[in-house]
Structure 1
Amino acid sequence: MYTSLIQALGIINCTIVKRHGNNNFELLYGTNDWAYALLPHARDDTHFTIDDHSPYLQDFLIDAEHFWQIGNDGQIQSGIWSEKTASSLLRLEAIAAVTKGECFLVINNLEQQYARQQKTLQSARELLITNDKMLAEQEYLQERLETILRQADNLTALQAPLNKVIEHAEFGIIIADADMQIVQQNPRALALFELSEQQAPPSPLSITMRLFNEQCPSVERILSTHSEWRGELFWHMSEYVNKWLDLSLQAVVDAQGALVNWIFILNDVTRLKYLQQRNEQLGMYDIVTDLPNRHLLLQNTESAVSDQHPFYFLYLDIKWFKRVNDRYGHAVGDTLLIELVERIQPLLGDENLLARMGGDEFAILLHDTTSAKECDAFCQRLIQTVEQPFYTPDKQQLRVGLNIGVAHYPSDATDCEQLVRFADMAVYSAKRQLDSHAAFYSKSLKDITMKRIAMEEALRKAIKAREFELFLQPIIDMRSGGIVKAEALIRWRDKSNKLISPDEFIPIAELCGLIIPIGHWVIEQAGNMLKLLHSYNDQLTLSVNLSPKQLNDEHLLDAFTATINKTGIDASKVELEITEGVLIDNFERVERHIRQLRKLGIRISIDDFGTGYSSLRYLQRLSVDTVKIDRSFVHDLSDNENDKAIVLAVIAIAKSLGLEVIAEGVETKAQRHFLMDNACFIAQGYLFGRPVPVDDFCQLLSCE
């Protein structure tokens, strides 16, 4: 009866079990010896549990359980791992699947495929495919390490199965602290550099950092911004021995956004590089897209610099591509990249070169464009092309965006290394924008980047010193003139007593992840503040803004639960404001979080309503209480007929769905009269009061 499921998953030599509850499984298919070796309890019991016999499988089940509880149809994969049994060495891959509300665990035995790949190792293309498959194991372990280290006070908190996997991993693992001092390394890390525990320096970490500093142009930015990096390093070990090392570098920050660890994962890819050199076609071209790879691109860039003809170097970063890979798998991600290349190629002339730098990054050498204006127009055409929807084989719509960093030879740089580094700096600046964006390198951009780095460091210190304050802006019932709600708005008062606008520091906090600890502080303070406000008016509702990244924070619900329990406040008097654009970006995750928050009794408001897309469709599916008319529509109510029509439409939609409607940015009596005449009675804006410190707001309440 499960044959169709097996065919749909595209596997034959597999074991399928059905999940009936937490660690409660039933064997449906697969009675091979290897299956019983992996799941010994399945041999005798109809319903069985999965113990810690396999560290990799046990670790994957943590993510699988989370996925099953969400309940959406689809699947997630573990990546390939090696499993030693009494009789053989297995190559396995696990899949957690949900279909029509039922949950399954599929374990796929890839031994035959792996054996075939080993027999054809002389082929460089086959070796590349094998290498990509095996790297999935490495990526999975790295993600698990990052999650655990971020939440741990020390390395003793590492899960026991994971610690065992680290020790026996076939690739080098080094965990360093914030000062780049080794706190843990596995035997493979020493073996890669032909060192032993008893040897004096140099250590694997010191050698790696020396190579990294010498060979990575953007090392300074990567370390200062705690960015991820993946690439290859060349080690001239001795007169007769050279090695190529594949390095994956990942920063780990704690709940307050402070750097706590670096994770280094190293693979010896010397044999792969040797085979690539014997096959120039494969050695210089990307295996997925058939585009020139990083090495061939840099050769062409060096050649273009030598010719001394002006050209533009474009660094392309695909927005939200990792989300596609995480949700739909790498096969769908690879298909998307292939289609993306097919779309971009027609925009290029014969003189220009498109290359894949690696992962979700591409580059273009643009020779036939003579001015910045022409280059910008070309960038906009690229963005429009990439933003058109993609579709999975089962017709699900995917959307990605495009950030572009642009540097010009010779205006910006006169050598290849600087040109690439400046384009990388420009694309990093473009990533600050929520939407797709093209940024051109300039001295001012460099100054902005350095200012941003300084601001980020100051923010980290401000979080530790608790230099933030919450101001309150009254929300009025215009019929009575009474305060019915207050919106909490964050301010940063630095050590010199200067107030820094949230417009200045919130985007940087969003970009570097510090918005999460700041958001937790806001939740805690809002609870204490609401308790104080209720001593003046116990019917008052406090509104708190949630950023897009906070809605991706798995600890958001815990933060609100802890605050409600600690302060004893009425959760129904807390209202969370989310922007309309967040719904479009990741509706399923937002819906799940909103459902959980609603169970606590918390109210939900859609902020900036009318500025997003497909709003009515989302409102019909979500359980929300309030919509807020964006201030941009209220501002021109007196003389703009289009804005009047939009405001009337929003009021009508809200009323038809039984939602409360609030108008933002009310500054004139004419705006107030128009809103009241059209049954919008709740409003906020400078006409009624500016954001003020909590003591001043309490004075307003005491005067009512």
Structure 2
Amino acid sequence: MDTSLFHDLGLLDCVIFKRIEPTKYEVLYNAQDWLFELLPETKSQKSFRFAQNSLYLEDFLIDAEALWISKQPGSVDSGIWSETLPSRELLQLEASAMVCNQQEYLVIHKLKDKFTQKQQTLQIARELLLSNDKITEQHEHLHAQMDELLSQSERTKAFQQPIINALEQTDLGVAILDSNLQLVKGNPALQTLFNDTHIALKLPVDRLILELFKKQYPEYDRVFSTRSAWTGELCWLNPPEQGKWLKVAIHPIKNADQALQYWMFSVSDVTQIKFLLKRNEKLTHFDVLTDLPNRQYFWQQLENKIKKNRPFYLLYIDIKNFKRINEVHGHLIGDQLIKDLAKRLQSVTRVDDYIARIGGTEFAIIMETDYFRKQFASTDQGQCKTFVQELIRASELPFYLESGSQCEIGLNVGASAFPTDSNDAEELMKYADLAVFAAKKQVKSSLEFYSKKLVDASLKRIEMEDALQKAVTNKQFELFLQPIIDISSSKIVKAETLIRWRLSDGSIIAPDEFIPLAEQTGLIVPIGKWVIAEACRFLNELKKTHQEIKLSVNLSPRQVADRQLLDFIKTTLTQQDISPELLELELTEGVLIDNYDKVHYLLTELRTLGISVSIDDFGTGYSSLSYLQKLPIDHIKIDRSFTMSIQDNEQDQGGNSAIILAVIAMAKSLKLGVIAEGVETDSQKEFLLRNQCHIAQGYLFSRPLPFNEFCKLLNTKN
């Protein structure tokens, strides 16, 4: 047989068989002694049958037979496996079955060089993962440290020695910019980032980083307009030399009132890591952790897809609640979760779709529509929604950790459409990014499509956030009080504090409209502190008139996570000379579960002070019996949706009345007080009385009142 073709193709270190009939083969090419050691049945025979001397090969032949029977042109590979010969030589082998010109072939490669290269690739990948985790932890630690120091500094001149020391001691380059992105302070490491290039920069380092970010990422405008954090890699080209890669983390630093005070850029040189990547073609184009295409390679594929001029959706996917998983379980568990999620997403994507990992917690998918159409059809958006729901369902299944515990995540998904929204790759990414940012505002996993309406809503949200920030600064809030009544005696036993936002024109914005925004932006922390301070001031005023009554204040998830909350409460009580027994704090069921460790510590400390605790909106979405038993809680409040469903005719009562009775019975067994919210009719009041729930609030007794009106009502009732 002429072996010149095999020489030309570099296939000398292999053997080739032709399949004559099922289980029967002929040796076409063999120049290897190892074949006869491994498969002695092939020696000195024109045709042969495998004698099960290699179990791995026998197993692969099952898959190969399916290909050969189909007669369809193509190939299937076995993957690399190891064999030890009688001579003790260790082989790394890979088999390929193929169909070509209606003939079936089996090729077995000896892969010493390829195996060594793969092992080297895996080692590089492991080193890169470790390096990346270490760099990420450095950035996060520095951010937490600087956030603590800078948030306490109201002016540039407040840069004291601890801040200067922190900047000088870190290996990361750090730039502190003001709210207008002008440099306030840079550390020595920032200035030395480009010293090894021997080229004078045309811009200061902080301006260069901003320019690179603006040119290379569509997210630029959104990050700064919404005051969001961002992490990614920037490439500085320096032809004809190699250039430089920088890992950059951008964080907004806010003061106690959550007003933007500084931007902090932390920068590390990852050029050496990128150099290692370039030595291996696979690692150049594919993400080390998930083995998916990376951002750069995805961008190429996106531009290629646009050139084909066929409609598609670009999906931008961000993992929901991932930061908390990293904080609780560590980066190694976080990496494993991302790896497992990537497999789940891949299992859902179709053969014509294209998926990549484009950031730390971000994936992107090019979702194909009907290949033979040049425009979208009315059904395409519905298909996109169905596909995304499949992605979300796959992501929301529990992830089981090695420790035996489990964690759950969700997905934020933004979608832009080619060519409907744009025919430019950068704009499509920008629009999908805006859409996923809108999706993040939802509590649960969700999909948002880019639209003009979405942009208008985003602009309106930014305007409202600015107005809310001014309201925090100028204290444009009022605190109303809604009485909580002992319905058996009609006396006011305590009151719930309810905030209102009064605009300059005198109109009032209800909390349902601005509290969710305050929670999302962090403004709830200063607003919550104002509410606590104002409630304590009210208690002080009541004390002067010898009317001591307990006031209840709502705590949000962000407030529970605030490290300064406990000290603030202690200080405020002391300043107003108020007994802690006169203050009650309300938490929702969701806060108990989502922040259990923090809640347990906080409630224990509050109980030690003498402050009581109630659980608001009980029964609306969680099964919290175990938490009620473990946590120091005094009261549970039956959600208004159950109370308001009570009908005038007792025979018409549905399942909600049964829930109320169950809650009352459970509370009694746990020795907890019960408060019914939303009481609006006499029949609801009578139902509660008959079933031993004596404490209630609602419009039947009083609407929320300004402090002076509440005092008048208190005088008449008590």
Q: TM-score, normalised by structure 2?
A: 0.77
Q: Partners in 1 of 2:210 and 2:434 — Cα distance? A: 21
Find the counterpart in structure 1 of residue 93 from structure 2.
none
In the alignment, is the contact (CA less than 8 A) between 2:121 and 2:280 conserved in 1?
A: no
Q: Counterpart of 1:408 in 2: which secondary structure? A: strand
Residues 1:556 and 2:565 are matched in the alignment: yes
Q: Partners in 1 of 2:407 and 2:153 — Cα distance? A: 35
Q: Report deviation, 1:208.
A: 1.6
Q: Report deviation, 1:237.
A: 4.4
Cα distance, 1:570–1:168 mapped onto 2, change above 3 Å: closer
Q: Report deviation, 1:319.
A: 1.5
In the alignment, is the contact (CA less than 8 A) between 1:124 and 1:272 conserved in 2?
A: no
In the alignment, is the contact (CA less than 8 A) between 1:546 and 1:577 conserved in 2?
A: yes
1:106-145 per-residue CA deviation (whole Å, 9 max, x = no partner) reads xxxxxxxxxxxxxx89985366235314413333223222
In the alignment, is the contact (CA less than 8 A) between 2:129 and 2:289 conserved in 1?
A: no
Q: Partners in 1 of 2:596 and 2:201 — Cα distance? A: 54
Give the alignment partner of residue 631 of structure 1, picking from 640, 664, 671: 640
Find the counterpart in structure 2 of residue 131 from structure 1.
131
User: Which stretch of structure 1 is more off in the superposition, 394-403 or 623-632?
Assistant: 394-403
Q: Which amino acid aligns with 2:632?
A: S
Find the counterpart in structure 2 of residue 538 from structure 1.
547
Give the alignment partner of residue 507 of structure 2, picking from 489, 498, 503: 498
Residues 1:595 and 2:608 are matched in the alignment: no
Q: Report deviation, 1:640.
A: 4.1
Q: Partners in 2 of 1:663 and 1:607 — Cα distance? A: 10
Q: Partners in 2 of 1:589 and 1:315 — Cα distance? A: 32
In the alignment, is the contact (CA less than 8 A) between 1:124 and 1:279 conserved in 2?
A: no
Find the counterpart in structure 1 of residue 670 from structure 2.
657
Q: Report deviation, 1:536.
A: 5.1
Aligned residues: 583
1:135-163 per-residue CA deviation (whole Å, 9 max, x = no partner) reads 13333223222222123446787786774
Q: Partners in 2 of 1:557 and 1:616 — Cα distance? A: 26
Find the counterpart in structure 2 of residue 181 from structure 1.
182
Cα distance, 1:447–1:679 mapped onto 2, change above 3 Å: same
Q: Which amino acid aligns with 2:655?
A: N
1:222-263 per-residue CA deviation (whole Å, 9 max, x = no partner) reads 112211111222324466563332221111101111111111
Which one has a bigger Cα radius of gyration? 2
Q: Which amino acid aligns with 1:629?
A: I
Q: Counterpart of 2:643 in 1: which secondary structure? A: helix
Q: Partners in 2 of 1:315 and 1:570 — Cα distance? A: 52
Residues 1:392 and 2:368 are matched in the alignment: no
Q: Partners in 2 of 1:544 and 1:430 — Cα distance? A: 30
Q: Report deviation, 1:487.
A: 0.8
Find the counterpart in structure 2 of residue 413 from structure 1.
422
Q: Which amino acid aligns with 1:651?
A: I
Find the counterpart in structure 2 of residue 482 from structure 1.
491
Q: CA RMSD in A?
A: 2.4
Q: Report deviation, 1:192.
A: 2.0
Q: Partners in 2 of 1:679 and 1:346 — Cα distance? A: 54
1:654-685 per-residue CA deviation (whole Å, 9 max, x = no partner) reads 11111111111111111111111111111111
Q: Report deviation, 1:394.
A: 1.6
1:161-213 per-residue CA deviation (whole Å, 9 max, x = no partner) reads 774453254332111222323222122212224499xx997321122222222
Q: Partners in 1 of 2:353 and 2:242 — Cα distance? A: 38
Q: Counterpart of 1:234 in 2: which secondary structure? A: strand
Give the alignment partner of residue 528 of structure 2, picking from 488, 511, 519: 519
Q: Counterpart of 2:223 in 1: which secondary structure? A: helix
Q: Which amino acid aligns with 1:177?
A: D
Matches for 1:309-388 after TM superposition, within 5 Å: 309-368=310-369, 371-388=380-397
Q: Report deviation, 1:309.
A: 1.5
In the alignment, is the contact (CA less than 8 A) between 1:127 and 1:272 conserved in 2?
A: no
Residues 1:192 and 2:193 are matched in the alignment: yes
User: Which stretch of structure 1 is more off in the superposition, 230-239 or 160-169?
Assistant: 160-169
Give the alignment partner of residue 658 of structure 2, picking from 625, 630, 645: 645
Q: Report deviation, 1:384.
A: 2.4
Find the counterpart in structure 2 of residue 273 from structure 1.
274
Q: Partners in 2 of 1:681 and 1:225 — Cα distance? A: 47
Q: Report deviation, 1:291.
A: 1.2
In the alignment, is the contact (CA less than 8 A) between 2:539 and 2:548 conserved in 1?
A: no
Cα distance, 1:254–1:123 mapped onto 2, change above 3 Å: same
Q: Report deviation, 1:614.
A: 2.1
1:580-625 per-residue CA deviation (whole Å, 9 max, x = no partner) reads 1111112111111111111111110000000132211110101111
In the alignment, is the contact (CA less than 8 A) between 2:232 and 2:248 conserved in 1?
A: yes
1:296-344 per-residue CA deviation (whole Å, 9 max, x = no partner) reads 2222222222222111222212122111111211111111112222222
Find the counterpart in structure 1 of residue 58 from structure 2.
none
Q: Partners in 2 of 1:342 and 1:521 — Cα distance? A: 47
Q: Partners in 1 of 2:208 and 2:162 — Cα distance? A: 29
In the alignment, is the contact (CA less than 8 A) between 1:387 and 1:399 conserved in 2?
A: yes
Q: Partners in 2 of 1:428 and 1:381 — Cα distance? A: 20
Q: Counterpart of 1:366 in 2: which secondary structure? A: strand
Find the counterpart in structure 2 of residue 675 from structure 1.
688
Q: Partners in 2 of 1:175 and 1:121 — Cα distance? A: 38
Q: Partners in 2 of 1:536 and 1:306 — Cα distance? A: 78
Cα distance, 1:698–1:165 mapped onto 2, change above 3 Å: closer
Give the alignment partner of residue 582 of structure 2, picking from 573, 577, 585: 573
Find the counterpart in structure 2 of residue 464 from structure 1.
473
Find the counterpart in structure 1 of residue 436 from structure 2.
427
Q: Counterpart of 1:288 in 2: which secondary structure? A: coil
Give the alignment partner of residue 586 of structure 1, picking from 595, 598, 611: 595
Q: Report deviation, 1:463.
A: 1.0
Matches for 1:16-95 after TM superposition, within 5 Å: none
In the alignment, is the contact (CA less than 8 A) between 2:218 and 2:427 conserved in 1?
A: yes
Q: Partners in 2 of 1:540 and 1:248 — Cα distance? A: 49
Cα distance, 1:297–1:585 mapped onto 2, change above 3 Å: same
Note the residue ranges of structure 1 that are not aligned, 5 or more in a row. Answer: 1-119
In the alignment, is the contact (CA less than 8 A) between 2:369 and 2:380 conserved in 1?
A: no
Q: Partners in 1 of 2:475 and 2:391 — Cα distance? A: 43
Q: Partners in 2 of 1:187 and 1:570 — Cα distance? A: 51
Q: Report deviation, 1:483.
A: 1.3
Residues 1:691 and 2:704 are matched in the alignment: yes
Q: Which amino acid aligns with 2:144?
A: E
In the alignment, is the contact (CA less than 8 A) between 2:149 and 2:163 conserved in 1?
A: no
In the alignment, is the contact (CA less than 8 A) between 2:251 and 2:265 conserved in 1?
A: yes
User: Which stretch of structure 1 is more off in the superposition, 129-138 or 552-561?
Assistant: 129-138
Give the alignment partner of residue 666 of structure 1, picking from 651, 661, 679: 679
Q: Partners in 1 of 2:292 and 2:176 — Cα distance? A: 34
Matches for 1:178-257 after TM superposition, within 5 Å: 178-194=179-195, 202-237=203-238, 240=241, 242-257=243-258
Q: Which amino acid aligns with 1:671?
A: Q
Q: Which amino acid aligns with 1:397?
A: Q
In the alignment, is the contact (CA less than 8 A) between 1:121 and 1:127 conserved in 2?
A: no
In the alignment, is the contact (CA less than 8 A) between 1:256 and 1:463 conserved in 2?
A: yes
Q: Partners in 2 of 1:195 and 1:558 — Cα distance? A: 48
1:475-509 per-residue CA deviation (whole Å, 9 max, x = no partner) reads 11111112111111111112222211211111111
Q: TM-score, normalised by structure 1?
A: 0.79
Q: Which amino acid aligns with 2:679?
A: V
Give the alignment partner of residue 510 of structure 1, picking from 505, 519, 542: 519
Find the counterpart in structure 2 of residue 51 from structure 1.
none
Q: Partners in 2 of 1:276 and 1:195 — Cα distance? A: 20
Q: Counterpart of 1:661 in 2: which secondary structure? A: strand
In the alignment, is the contact (CA less than 8 A) between 1:405 and 1:427 conserved in 2?
A: yes
Q: Which amino acid aligns with 2:151?
A: R
In the alignment, is the contact (CA less than 8 A) between 2:151 and 2:254 conserved in 1?
A: yes
Find the counterpart in structure 1 of residue 301 from structure 2.
300
In the alignment, is the contact (CA less than 8 A) between 2:150 and 2:163 conserved in 1?
A: no
Q: Partners in 1 of 2:600 and 2:178 — Cα distance? A: 37
Find the counterpart in structure 1 of residue 79 from structure 2.
none
